[in-house]
């Protein structure tokens, strides 16, 4: 089978690529794994020392370039992970860029799927940024999407398009609303959500970190390992199990800044935590505190999606991954 990952040079895309290569394929029909023949990674840039495998083809370019997409989505393409996006603070800072990538380019991807001889499976990543405004205490599977950022809006637009293209039989789409991924490796990106990763990752690297929110600020989080599991699971679950509703709130855990720092202290000691300095940033605070931190995810739980066991487990998994 031929699989495309947009945003394939990004941190999540690279991990999904590695997971697919290690598995050697994807369950295309219930129980039957089809073997991976070609894995196309599309992104603007790729990390040095990225995924190396004869089955992998890296394509560098602009996802908004329809001629490029035509080559990337050469038929038959069987499965697509559409992860490419301008992140939250970026889409808020540049309205037109956000719409160009997160809406217009997504539409090009969905149209490329529609042109395939058979409707490919497609996994699209959405976000807790789908929610905002006046929210119930706990967000459930029935809570209305009321995004309060351009990024969140663009993600919900994508969800709706995935659902409609799926209903029409143009694609077999599945949207997963991911919690904030913690601990994100590498350098901070423009995602407003990045701070929770920063205040864990940087001190573990012996570096200082700034926390732009107060200690009682809470986030709904998922580790990179669990996020990759969720995306692969979303791809492999049969269409019947998804049913008509193709948008899913993935499970996560609720973690406050102070809980995260306590766990960091337990795992790495007091001098490590002392590298975190609090310095409020109203712009980041406004975006992050607008996202819900408490969820019930009954549907995802039934479908076998899993959250992490706690923030301490998340930190230890990050340390193990970094040590490899």
Q: Which residues are catalytic?
A: 151
Q: Is 298 in the site for a second copy (CB under 8 A)?
A: no
Q: Which of 22, 31, 67, 134 binds a second copy (CB under 8 A)?
A: 134
Rg (the chain; Cα; Å): 19
Q: Shortest approach of a second copy to residue 10 CB, angstroms?
A: 24
The nearest distance, CB 191 to a second copy, in angstroms, is: 18
State the greatest distance between any 2 C-alpha atoms of the chain, in Å, as a whole number.
Answer: 58
Residue 272's closest CA among 197, 203, 183? 203
Query: Which C-beta is closer to a second copy: that of 36 or that of 69?
Result: 69
Is residue 147 a contact point for a second copy (CB under 8 A)?
yes
Span near a second copy by CB under 8 A; candidates 73-81, 147-155, 296-304, 313-321: 147-155
> For the chain, what's the residue count?
324
Nearer to a second copy, 94 or 259 (CB): 94
Q: What CA–CA distance (Å, rounded) separates 294 from 284?
A: 19
Q: Applying CB under 8 A, which of residues 33, 157, 268, 317 lies at the interface with a second copy?
A: 157
Tokens of 273: 């935590």
CB of 115 to a second copy, least distance (A): 13
- In angstroms, what is the minimal distance from the CB of 185 to a second copy? 31
Question: Number of residues in contact with a second copy, rule: CB under 8 A?
Answer: 23
Pick from 74, 144, 214, 298: which binds a second copy (CB under 8 A)? 144
Distance CA 15, CA 228 (A): 7
Structure-block tokens of residue 177: 């609303």
Binders of a second copy in range 229-288 (CB under 8 A)? 244-245
Contact 26, 239 (CB under 8 A): no
State the residue for tokens 């600020």.
217
Among candidates 121, 112, 116, which has minimal Cα distance to 30?
Answer: 121
* C-alpha–C-alpha distance, residues 89 and 162, integer Å: 24
C-alpha dist (Å) from residue 190 to 6, 32, 85, 86? 18, 39, 11, 9
Among 89, 145, 204, 234, binds a second copy (CB under 8 A): 145
b/e sequence 41-55, b meaning 16+ C-beta within 10 Å? bbbeebeeebbeeeb
Which residues within the stretch 65-104 sit at the binding site for a second copy (CB under 8 A)?
95
> Segment near a second copy (CB under 8 A), from 143-151, 180-188, 212-220, 310-318?
143-151
* Contacting residues toward a second copy, per CB under 8 A: 95, 133-134, 136, 142-148, 150, 153, 156-157, 160-161, 163-164, 167-168, 244-245
């Amino acid at each position: 089978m031929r699989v495309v990952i947009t945003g394939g040079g990004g941190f999540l895309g690279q991990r999904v690529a590695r997971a697919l290569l290690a598995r050697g394929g994807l369950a295309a029909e219930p129980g039957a794994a089809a073997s991976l023949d070609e894995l196309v990674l599309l992104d603007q840039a790729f990390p040095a020392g990225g995924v190396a495998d004869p089955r992998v083809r890296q394509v560098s370019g602009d996802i908004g370039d329809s001629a490029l997409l035509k080559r990337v989505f050469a038929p038959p393409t069987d499965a697509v992970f559409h992860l490419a996006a301008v992140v939250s603070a970026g889409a808020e800072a540049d309205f037109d860029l956000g719409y160009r990538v997160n809406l217009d380019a997504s539409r090009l991807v969905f149209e490329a799927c529609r042109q395939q001889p058979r409707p490919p499976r497609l996994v699209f990543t959405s976000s807790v940024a789908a929610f905002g405004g006046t929210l119930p205490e706990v967000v459930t599977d029935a809570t209305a999407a009321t995004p309060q950022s351009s990024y969140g809006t663009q993600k919900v637009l994508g969800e709706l398009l995935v659902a409609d293209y799926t209903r029409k039989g143009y694609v077999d789409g599945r949207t997963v609303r991911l919690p904030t991924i913690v601990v994100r490796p590498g350098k901070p990106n423009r995602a407003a959500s990045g701070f929770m990763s920063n205040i864990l990752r940087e001190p573990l690297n012996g570096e200082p970190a700034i926390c732009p929110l107060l200690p009682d600020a809470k986030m709904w989080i998922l580790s990179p390992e669990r996020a990759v599991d969720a995306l692969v699971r979303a791809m492999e679950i049969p269409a019947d199990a998804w049913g008509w509703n193709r948008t899913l709130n993935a499970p996560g855990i609720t973690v406050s800044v102070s809980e995260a720092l306590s766990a960091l202290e337990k795992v790495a000691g007091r001098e490590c935590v002392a590298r975190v300095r609090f310095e409020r940033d109203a712009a980041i605070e406004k975006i992050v505190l607008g996202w819900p931190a408490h969820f019930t995810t009954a549907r995802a739980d039934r479908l076998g999606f899993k959250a992490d066991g706690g923030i301490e487990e998340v930190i230890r998994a990050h340390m193990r991954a970094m040590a490899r």
